[in-house]
Amino acid sequence: MKSQLLARLFKRLSDSFAERPLSDAPDPSQTGPELDEPAAPPPSTELTDANFARQMGAFDARAAAAGGPTIAGSVQLIGLEEIKNNFGALWKDIRDAAHKVTEEVIKSHLTPLDLFAAVQEESYVVLFGELGQETAEIKAKSMAAEITRRLCGDVDGGPMVTVRSVTLEIDRPEGGFKTVTDVWSGFERAQSKAAETAKAEGKRIAEGIQFGYWPTLNLRKRLIAIYDCNIMRRADAGYMLVGDDAYPRDPTGELAATLDGIALDAAHQGLRHIEQQGKRAVLLLPVHFETLAFRAFREKYMQGVRAFPESAQHNLAFHVLDLPAGVPQTRVVEVVSQFRPWVLGFVCRLPLARPEIERFTGSGLIGLTTDAGGTITPSETQYEHMRSFAAAAREAKLRSMFVNARTVSLASAAVRAGFDFVNGDAIVRMVARPGRVYQLEASATQPGGAPAAKQDAATAPTAKPGRAKPENPKPDTAKLADRLASGAR
């Protein structure tokens, strides 16, 4: 059986080599004056230290002229880890051929100003001589798609080859980069330095972390049964940062993982409070994809997850943030499957405009969320994006949730667009801790038309003394739910 599989794999690899000649020499059968003209030199692929130093010298000079350190973003990391996992035990038999295909594809996309080299076991570093981060990332993803196709054929869920943009500044050593090792060592030093800085910053802000919970409305049932946890911290300027704004920028993922761990610890108390209620609500807990996917972060996070009581399987769901663009569906499935036995499920935040929802069919997710950023009144284009998002989620058999509907117009648009769930200040204000399941009633409304939510005193928000409650007109969400149930859009 193994020999048959290997035969098919080697045939695919042979066909792959046949698609593109390994030599850049012209076909002798061709004729014409263009063959007499000197051709531009192809990208060098000899990774000797002397050749690398010569090319790197030019790259280094351009980077220095642009402002000093090597330009962040022009460096891309391409990884074959998912390909290796896909082939399993067969990988050792095809590894050399797979790397040959990979290098052939990379070379075909490079110019004489670009560099690449194999680093570690299954990774490549590509340095684009004149590209910014966005263009370099697009080009690297194009490489990833072609490598995946030539090694694995057409696969569902997007490329299996990973692409990571190095957003750290890599300082040039004295005398410049001379070898591939110099570049990789510089990257590792920059990453280590950034991680230490992130750890120190995490300790500094950890003590001031708070949490707020958005009661989330099930539009079909007119029921508050989900509490969407949001991290909160006070900025140095004194104002409160909530949700995505509360996470400091950090290219290492260290800070986000630290705050995810703090939220995980707080969830124990939140679940205990939920268990004291009659009907148990669901606690939606934020966690970054890299925290779940990166081994060093995942192992620590998993320890906290395993400490949850068995009830977490019924009333704890993870809200996955910052999913990298183009992440393979196989990677999502792998991450979800590792944590799935301990929780109710996973929902994932996607951008409103280009969510690529079809890639998540069969991924193990139970729902998708999105928001409108800082929008107050959605434009017609944004409304169409909302409607398309909800429809695509239904097609993929996933529930859809619109979060942070801060205005009446946003909440109304989310209802008309067909979302299953919606939360935000225009629905019910954020509360201090997760509460019980309760119905929103149209008969008793607050000024402005918002349903009067029946809450426990412990979870009801209180106004600060001496400050008038701000006027915030809200939609009659129960009536909006009635419209949704009757098919109005």
pTM listed for this prediction = 0.64
Tell me the backbone φ, ψ of residue 110, rounded to 5 degrees.
-95, 160
For residues 40 and 45, give the distance between their C-alpha atoms in angstroms, rounded to a whole number.
Answer: 15
Residues 276, 241 contacting (CB under 8 angstroms): no
pLDDT of 446: 36
Using left for φ > 0, alpha for ψ between -120 and 50, and beta otherwise, residue 253 falls in: left
Confidence grade of residue 119 (pLDDT, cut at 50, 70, 90): confident
Tell me the backbone φ, ψ of residue 273, rounded to 5 degrees.
-65, -40
- C-alpha neighbours within 13 Å on the C-beta side of residue 213: 27
Residue 312 tokens read as 């977490």
Average pLDDT over residues 192-200: 74
Domain limits of the chain? 2-20+41-193, 208-485
- Least confident residue range of 193-197, 254-258, 348-352: 193-197
**β-bridge partners, 431:** 213
**β-bridge partners, 217:** 224, 422
Average pLDDT over residues 55-70: 60
Tell me the backbone φ, ψ of residue 287, rounded to 5 degrees.
-155, 140
Residue with the bigger pLDDT between 298 and 158: it is 298
pLDDT of 63: 59
For residues 300 and 302, give the distance between their C-alpha atoms in angstroms, rounded to a whole number.
Answer: 5
pLDDT of 1: 43
CATH for 2-20+41-193 is: 3.30.70
Rounded percentage of the chain residues whose pLDDT exceeds 90: 23
The pLDDT of residue 397 is above 80: yes
Residues 6+ apart with CB under 8 A from 459: 431, 432, 433, 434, 435, 436
Tell me the backbone φ, ψ of residue 164, rounded to 5 degrees.
-135, 125
Q: Which of 264, 251, 256 is nearest to 339 (CA)?
A: 264
Q: What is the mean pLDDT of the chain?
A: 74
Confidence grade of residue 323 (pLDDT, cut at 50, 70, 90): confident
For residues 478 and 454, give the distance between their C-alpha atoms in angstroms, rounded to a whole number.
Answer: 13
For residues 173 and 234, give the distance between their C-alpha atoms in angstroms, rounded to a whole number.
Answer: 39
Residue 130 tokens read as 């004149």
- What digits encode the pLDDT tens for the residues 411-450? 999 999 999 999 998 899 999 989 889 987 653 333 333 3
Residues 423, 432 contacting (CB under 8 angstroms): no
pLDDT of 342: 93
Integer CA distances (angstroms), 446 to 62, 426, 454, 469, 476, in order: 63, 12, 12, 12, 9
Q: Which stretches of 389-487 are assigned E, i.e. beta strand?
A: 399-402, 421-422, 438-445, 451-453
**Amino acid present at 135:** T
Residues 377, 409 contacting (CB under 8 angstroms): yes
For residues 56 and 58, give the distance between their C-alpha atoms in angstroms, rounded to a whole number.
Answer: 5
Among 108-122, 360-374, 395-409, 456-470, top mean pLDDT goes to: 395-409
The pLDDT of residue 485 is above 60: no
Residues 335, 289 contacting (CB under 8 angstroms): yes
- What digits encode the pLDDT tens for the residues 160-194? 787 877 665 666 667 666 666 676 677 777 777 77
pLDDT of 67: 56
The pLDDT of residue 29 is above 50: no
Residue with the bigger pLDDT between 401 and 19: it is 401
Question: Would you list the DSSP string of 360-409?
Answer: GTTSS--EEEE--TT-SS--HHHHHHHHHHHHHHHHTT-EEEE----SHH
Burial 440-452 (b: 16+ CB within 10 A, else e): bebeebeeeebbe
- What digits encode the pLDDT tens for the residues 4-16? 444 444 445 445 4
Query: Which fold does the domain 208-485 belong to in CATH?
Result: TIM Barrel (3.20.20)
Residues 344, 310 contacting (CB under 8 angstroms): no
Q: Is the sign of the CA dihedral 264, 454, 402, 344 positive or negative?
A: positive
For residues 75 and 72, give the distance between their C-alpha atoms in angstroms, rounded to a whole number.
Answer: 7
Q: Which stretches of 189-251 are assigned E, i.e. beta strand?
A: 210-218, 223-234, 240-242
- The helix/strand/coil state of 321 is strand
Average pLDDT over residues 236-262: 80
